[in-house]
Chains A and B, each alone.
Chain A
Amino acid sequence: MSNFTGITATMNPLAEMAQFKQNMREVAASPEWRTSKLIERQRWNPYSMEGGSTAAISGDNFAIVASDTRMTQNDINILTRDAEKIHVLNDSIILSTSGFYGDVIQLRKVLQSRLHKYRFDYRADMSADLCAELLSRNLYYRRFFPYYTGAMLAGIDENGKGAVFSYDPIGCIERLGYSASGAAEPMIIPFLDCQIGHVTVAEDYEKPPLTIERAISLMKDAFRGAAEREISTGDKIHLVIAEAGKPIVQKFLPLRED
């Protein structure tokens, strides 16, 4: 490379070309900027993805959360068909998580412990809005070794309205009308965007109201669709329904097992 001095009339074009190709090969094999430290090696990964997906929809006075119940390893090996990804923390708060299952369990433990202490200190259950902020902070406490989960919190807020809060792994909180997380998130969210957010339809389209029956039906369809194509989603739908003023109802519905 450093030998190259520019076009010289004396050099033969063929020899020039050969020289050029030789220089290119050398640079491609070991560029100047690459040092030996950047050679890739296999390292132990503290995270593993157990697959699965969850979704949540909130309405005027209800919130429903659904997840599949399959736990996989490397996306192909099924570890269990009965994994619990939705955790009912108290009468008005539901936590749903997907991703690294070790962090799923730990996050639930942390929140349950804080809710327990709150119940003693204030002699009442914590509300969904407070818990949402609490979860955001707890996720950020682990900013430098995150909980590898797509967490969602759903429930009935203090005004009796349904609430869904969506988080990224380090605690960015957003209150939404609907959300999904996990392996089938890219399949479920566009479906809900169309059916609930109505983003793909015209302004004058007759938008159906979001009743609890419609929400449940959409949830089932979303998961059935996701299970068709997404390999780590399937087995059963775990559906949890919270309505203002009523106890939380949990159901299991069958889903494809392949």
Chain B
Amino acid sequence: MFRNQYDSDVTVWSPQGRLHQVEYAVEAMKQGSATVGIKSETHAVIVALKRAQNELCSHQKKIYEIDTHSGVSIAGLLSDGRILARFLQTECSSWRWDYKLPIPMKKLAEAMQLKLQANTQYYGRRPFGVGLLVAGYDKDGAHIIQTDPSAEVVSMLGTSIGSRSQSARTYLERHVDEFEKSTPEQLIVHALLALRDTLPAEENLSAQNTSIGIVGKDMPFKIIEDELVQTHLDQVATHPRNITAPGSGAAPAAGRQSPAPGGAGAPEPMQQ
């Protein structure tokens, strides 16, 4: 992104009518690892790719349960995301204290919107560098709500945010008619297939880097992680992977190693 003289504070408009700081925050969200959310008539599912910086690190948790009827998945600056998840949790808790009932998702979305927007309008604050996918089930049915650092809070049928999420969105657009009547298991498989499309060719979904959250009618929010994910991944493995390497012509992915670093002169042909 280019630097210009109107991007130092969030309170400064550019002559084109843009808030650059907010746009830069959206870029931060796009750097985070991908997460996908889909809903059917009765259930909402979110899946996330957990990143580990190197083999010594544990994979960072991205899905949080905020109440028995809703959960959230984060993409972007995970520390900002945790603060927002805590905010959602206290909103849920305080609604329960006052009304003894779970908070309607609409109300939760409104509260999020106000909180996010505040950081885009006051001097000295910065927008949250994180996008959230909130999954919930209330009397109006299942919900997937996407939020943005720009404080855009939108209800979606299916969506994906994070790096390379466009491939996931393409998958979702292709299959959108199937979601409404899907069973929870089918919904999880769709979400994982969409998530798989965001991965580069040499990587794959595994029990360590994938986590699933699901909520719905008669099903309180639960997180499926580690070994329990494997049964769903086995289902996904039965669907062949459609790998299109963008720009550089279709190359078979199976067994491919990454190019050896520090080759002298012209790169050698990939026979390893």
Residues of A within 8 A of B (CB): 109, 112-113, 116-117, 119-120, 123
Stretch at the interface among B31-39, B89-97, B109-117: B89-97
Say how far A28's CB is from chain B's closest CB, in angstroms: 55
Selected contact of A113 from candidates B64, B66, B86, B97, CB within 8 Å: B97
Question: Which A residues lie within 8 Å of B66 (CB)?
Answer: 120
Is B65 an interface residue, CB under 8 A from the partner? yes
Contact check, B86 vs A120: say whether CB atoms are below 8 A apart: yes
Chain A interface helix/strand/loop/mixed: helix
User: Chain B: which residue is nearest A117 at the CB level?
Assistant: B93
Find chain B residues with CB under 8 A from A123 CB. 65
Q: Which residues in A have their C-beta under 8 angstroms from that of B85?
A: 120
Does the CB pair B97–A109 fall under 8 Å? yes
Q: Which residue of A lies closest to B98 (CB)?
A: A109
Given A119-B65, A120-B65, A123-B65, answer yes or no on A113-B96 (Cβ-Cβ < 8 Å).
Answer: yes
Residues of chain B lying within 8 A (CB to CB) of residue A120: 64-66, 85-86, 89
Within B48-95, the residues touching A (CB, 8 Å) are 64-67, 85-86, 89-90, 92-93
Distance of B88 from chain A, by nearest CB (Å): 9
22 sample A-B contacts, Cβ–Cβ < 8 Å, listed by A number? A109-B97, A109-B100, A112-B96, A113-B93, A113-B96, A113-B97, A116-B67, A116-B89, A116-B92, A116-B93, A116-B96, A117-B89, A117-B90, A117-B93, A119-B65, A120-B64, A120-B65, A120-B66, A120-B85, A120-B86, A120-B89, A123-B65
Q: Determine how close the nearest CB of chain B comes to the CB of A108; give it in whole angstroms.
A: 10
- CB contacts (< 8 Å) of B100 on chain A: these are 109
Q: How far is the CB of B47 from chain A (nearest CB, A)?
A: 18
Shortest 5 CB-CB contacts between residues of A and residues of B: A120-B89, A116-B93, A113-B97, A113-B93, A117-B93
The residue in chain B whose Cβ has the minimal distance to the Cβ of A110 is: B97
Least distance between A147 CB and chain B CB atoms (Å):
17
Q: How far is the CB of B50 from chain A (nearest CB, A)?
A: 14
In the bound assembly, the distance between CA atoms of A116 and B66 in angstroms comes to 9
**Chain A residues positioned under 8 Å from B64 (CB to CB):** 120
Tell me the minimal C-beta distance from B97 to chain A in angstroms: 6
Which residues on the A side are within 8 Å of B67 (C-beta)?
116
* Least CB distance, B224 to chain A, in whole angstroms: 13
Q: Please, which residues of chain A bring their CB within 8 A of the CB of B90?
A: 117
Query: In the bound complex, what is the Cα–Cα distance between A117 and B97 (angstroms)?
Result: 12
Which B-chain residue is minimally distant from A112 (CB atoms)? B96
Residue of A nearest to B86 (CB): A120
Closest residue of chain A to B61 (Cβ to Cβ) is A123
Q: Which residues of B contact A119 (CB under 8 A)?
A: 65
Question: Using Cβ atoms and an 8 Å threshold, which residues of chain A touch B96?
Answer: 112-113, 116
A229 to B93, CA, bound (A): 43
Q: How far is the CA of A238 from the CA of B222 in the complex (A)?
A: 30
State how many angstroms separate the Cβ of A244 from the closest Cβ of chain B: 22
Contacts of B93 in A (CB 8 A): 113, 116-117
| Chain A residues, CB < 8 A from B97 | 109, 113
B86 contacts across to A, CB distance below 8 A:
120
B136 to chain A, nearest CB (A): 15
Given the complex, which residues of B lie within 8 Å of A113, measured CB to CB? Answer: 93, 96-97
Give the docked Cα–Cα distance between A173 and B86 (Å).
Answer: 32
**Additional A-B contacts beyond A116-B67, A116-B92 (12; CB < 8 A):** A109-B100, A112-B96, A113-B93, A116-B89, A116-B96, A117-B89, A117-B90, A119-B65, A120-B66, A120-B85, A120-B89, A123-B65
